[in-house]
Amino acid sequence: MDTTGFLPVCAEDLTERNIKQLDFIYVTGDAYVDHPSFGHAIIARILEAHGYTVGIIAQPDWKDDASITVLGRPRLAFLISAGNMDSMVNHYSVSKKRRATDAYTPGGEMGKRPDHATAVYGNLIRRTYRDVPIIIGGIEASLRRMAHYDYWSDSFKRSILLDSQADLLSYGMGERSIVEIADALAAGIAVSDISFIRGTVYKTKDISGIYEGIVLPSYEDMKQDKTHYAKSFMIQYENTDACTGKPLIEPYPGGLYVVQNPPQPPLTTEEMDAIYALPYMRRCHPSYNTQGGVPATAEIQFSLISNRGCFGGCSFCALTFHQGRTIQVRSHASILAEARLLIQDPAFKGYIHDVGGPTANFRHPSCEKQLTKGVCKNRQCLFPKPCPNLKADHSDYLALLRALRALPGVKKVFIRSGIRFDYLLADPDDTFFRELVEHHISGQLKVAPEHISDAVLRRLGKPENAVYERFVKKYKKLNEQLGKNQFLVPYLMSSHPGSTLKEAVELAEYLRDLGYMPEQVQDFYPTPSTLSTVMYYTGLDPRDMKPVYVCRNPHEKAMQRALIQYRNPKNYELVREALIKAGREDLIGYDKKCLIRPRNAQTRGAEGQPDERRSNARQAGMRQRAANRQDSGRSQRPVKKKTIRNPHKKKQK
């Protein structure tokens, strides 16, 4: 097995490289994939580029203390990440049922990482190496850096910095902060004294030297009164920008404080290019080959990352907390150089699967003011209406896509990252929209209106439904003009805070009129550090501190979800119950506006839905037998049975 070029993962690798002691050991909940789509690969390669040695312990057995000793004791620190996903989201569906597979594990095997992996790994290390600094990072640590609501245990948890017994937390993407941390440790500064680095969270009992710090409600106060948590979260939300963010101080019992330093400034294009030019192997470690590799690599093998950050401001999204609202981009030269590497791959068939990021069509800051004054604290760029200062311009992205299409060996360049349709409409130039339809869609375009009720959309932080309707019309018109037969696949969400059965029925009626039933529906999933999760937990919208309806009952959540897929016979009883509870029995009947038919006392289908075909066939059979009795004694030819069809039955597409 040739592991040349990969970072050390075992003692034999250290011997081959003549490394007596590693500077850092990175413990990750994901399998080791040396690709810039994986956080552990980026952080490890950056440290390596700055002269530090790094080893990887991927998915250690948390039940065995010896699993953390395979690379020995690091000279400077252990680094910990749960992986590319929060470990609880990775393990459980919104109904809290255990998922069957894990795409970030060899062979897709589930169970190779613990629940709350960052905290478990931290305690595992602390039991064995009591005095070695522990630095935690990655999305799980980033989104749980302060006190937070944990959906899976239905409890209010402390900062993960405390529960993991770590010394320091690096939040956000972490490229700058990890080098500053490494340099400080290498210079002999005690980890307890590293309190000056942006993009980090530390613990202390002395806050006297913190300049312009904002003291948040204490953990105990927030635990006792959810209103305090809603207020605290809004302060945190307003301090996610590098230009305007202040230090945040969260008090805990015993005179302890968790302090969040302001964020790191956004990366420049030159810095982004340097990160993606590091010598990644661009595949999973060869030791996984016998298990079939790592499934998640299939999605990123022939995809290109062009940007970071998002100013979309969706309430249910944690990007504001993790990557920030300021767009950071790679240069065309950097992306084209990576594309040429893809073309050289023997498995490349001519198709680049994606060119994007959190939002594909964001390629520059939303306005010029952001570069010097930061993002606005009290308003969003696109919600509820596009800001007058918004610069909606797709020309740079369009030029990039054209350059990629022109590369020898490239047959097609697809866009599979999310397209923000309201930003697309805000651009006065239709050229990109036209070329998107003409060149970059594989039969269907996925967009995320999420809902159609304006009341729910306001809570979601999404534009009103009329904006989506305008987008649909324009999309259809462009397809007609270009002779294309391409479809829209709208992502829809049920049970988001603010959605009652009334709004769920409105969405079902909309889908009825559209003649569309989605195959997949996302039930609202409360994940750490989002506005929507705070609404779910507190019953308050942190933006205005007004009460908001929250659907927490599992049965009502099932009804809201079933309404979106009301045509599915399995959902009949749930849909019927929902319509009765919502006072919309007018939608039960044979009229074309009805969602479902009444119960048939004579016959039912296997799922409780009246099976009219069976009932009608039975009636036809009775009529035939009656005719036979009338004609008894005469020789008859066999009569073909007919099924009497209900004239009101709508043809299913």
* Digit-coded pLDDT (tens) for 541-551: 999 999 999 99
Q: What is the SS3 assignment for 46?
A: helix
Does the pLDDT at position 604 exceed 60?
no
Q: How confident is the model at residue 652 (pLDDT cuts 50, 70, 90)?
A: very low
pLDDT tens per residue across span 33-92: 999 999 999 999 999 999 999 999 999 999 999 999 999 999 999 999 999 999 999 999
Does the pLDDT at position 629 exceed 50?
no
pLDDT of amino acid 609: 43
- Nearest Cα to 340, choosing from 296, 403, 279, 295? 403
**Local structure of residue 596 (DSSP, 8 states):** B
For residues 607-612, average pLDDT: 43
Per CATH, the number for 11-198 is: 3.40.50.2300
User: Percentage of the chain with pLDDT > 90?
Assistant: 86
For residues 418-434, average pLDDT: 96
Q: Are 527 and 144 spatial neighbours (Cβ–Cβ below 8 Å)?
A: no
pLDDT tens per residue across span 549-596: 999 999 999 999 999 999 999 999 999 999 999 999 999 999 999 999
What is the rounded CA–CA span in Å between residue 132 and residue 125?
Answer: 9
Does the pLDDT at position 638 exceed 70?
no
What is the rounded CA–CA span in Å between residue 54 and residue 43?
Answer: 10
- Nearest Cα to 264, choosing from 379, 192, 144, 180? 180
pLDDT tens per residue across span 432-460: 999 999 999 988 999 999 999 999 999 99
The DSSP element (H or E) to which 117 belongs, if any, is helix 117-128
pLDDT of amino acid 383: 92
Q: Are 339 and 414 spatial neighbours (Cβ–Cβ below 8 Å)?
A: no
* pTM, entire model: 0.89
Domain boundaries, the chain: 11-198, 302-438, 443-565
- The string of DSSP letters for 376-407 reads -SS--SSSSS--TT-----HHHHHHHHHHHTS
Q: Are 217 and 228 spatial neighbours (Cβ–Cβ below 8 Å)?
A: yes
The dihedral built from the CA positions of residue 304, 309, 311 and 316, taken in this order, carries a sign that is positive
Q: How confident is the model at residue 412 (pLDDT cuts 50, 70, 90)?
A: very high
Does the pLDDT at position 4 exceed 90?
no
pLDDT of amino acid 519: 80
Instruction: Show the beta-strand stretches assigned E in 312-426.
Output: 328-329, 351-352, 354-356, 412-413
For residues 338-344, average pLDDT: 97
Fold type of domain 443-565:
Transcription Regulator spoIIAA (3.30.750)
Query: Side by side, which strands form the sheet with 214-215?
Result: 54-58, 24-28, 77-81, 134-137, 168-170, 200-204, 256-260, 248-252, 214-215
Q: Are 175 and 161 spatial neighbours (Cβ–Cβ below 8 Å)?
A: no
From the number of C-beta atoms within 10 Å of its C-beta (0-12, 13-18, 19+), residue 466 rates as: exposed
Q: How many Cα atoms are found within 13 Å in the side-chain-facing hemisphere of 98?
A: 6
Q: How confident is the model at residue 647 (pLDDT cuts 50, 70, 90)?
A: very low
pLDDT of amino acid 560: 97
pLDDT tens per residue across span 467-477: 999 999 999 99
CATH classification of 302-438 is 1.10.3720.10, yes or no?
A: no
Residues 6+ apart with CB under 8 A from 27: 57, 60, 68, 78, 79, 80, 81, 121, 125
Q: Which residues of 591-621 are buried (b: 16+ CB within 10 A; e: fewer)?
A: eeebbbbeeeeeeeeeeebbbbeebbbeeee
> Looking at 322-331, 464-473, 536-545, 621-630, which range is the least confident one?
621-630
pLDDT of amino acid 600: 75
pLDDT of amino acid 370: 87
What is the rounded CA–CA span in Å between residue 183 and residue 169?
Answer: 16
Tell me the helix, strand and coil percentages in the chain, rounded to 5.
Answer: 35, 15, 50
What is the rounded CA–CA span in Å between residue 30 and residue 59?
Answer: 6
pLDDT tens per residue across span 484-533: 999 999 999 999 999 999 999 999 999 999 888 888 789 999 999 999 99
Q: Are strands 256-260 and 200-204 parallel, antiparallel or unpaired?
A: antiparallel
> Looking at 196-200, 360-364, 366-370, which range is the least confident one?
366-370
Does the pLDDT at position 632 exceed 50?
no
CA angle 554, 560, 565 (to 5 degrees): 125
Calculate helix-pair angle for 501-514, 554-564, nearest 10 degrees: 20
pLDDT tens per residue across span 103-152: 999 999 999 999 999 999 999 999 999 999 999 999 999 999 999 999 99
**What is the average pLDDT value for the chain, to the nearest integer?**
91
- Nearest Cα to 85, choosing from 296, 281, 258? 296
What is the rounded CA–CA span in Å between residue 633 and residue 472?
Answer: 65
Q: Which residues pair with 204 in a beta bridge?
A: 257
Q: How confident is the model at residue 649 (pLDDT cuts 50, 70, 90)?
A: very low
Common-topology check for domains 11-198 and 302-438: no
What is the rounded CA–CA span in Å between residue 88 and residue 146?
Answer: 17
For residues 191-217, average pLDDT: 97
Q: How confident is the model at residue 1 (pLDDT cuts 50, 70, 90)?
A: low
For residues 373-395, average pLDDT: 92
What is the rounded CA–CA span in Å between residue 472 and residue 449?
Answer: 11
Helix residue ranges, H only, 153-279 = 160-163, 175-186, 219-224, 226-237, 269-276
pLDDT of amino acid 486: 94
Does the pLDDT at position 157 exceed 70?
yes
What is the rounded CA–CA span in Å between residue 134 and residue 76?
Answer: 9
What is the rounded CA–CA span in Å between residue 463 and residue 460?
Answer: 9
For residues 224-248, average pLDDT: 96
Q: How far apart are the first and last CA of the chain?
A: 53
Q: Can you read off the two tokens belonging to residue 297?
A: 């690599």
pLDDT of amino acid 544: 95
- Nearest Cα to 54, choosing from 187, 178, 240? 178
pLDDT of amino acid 310: 94
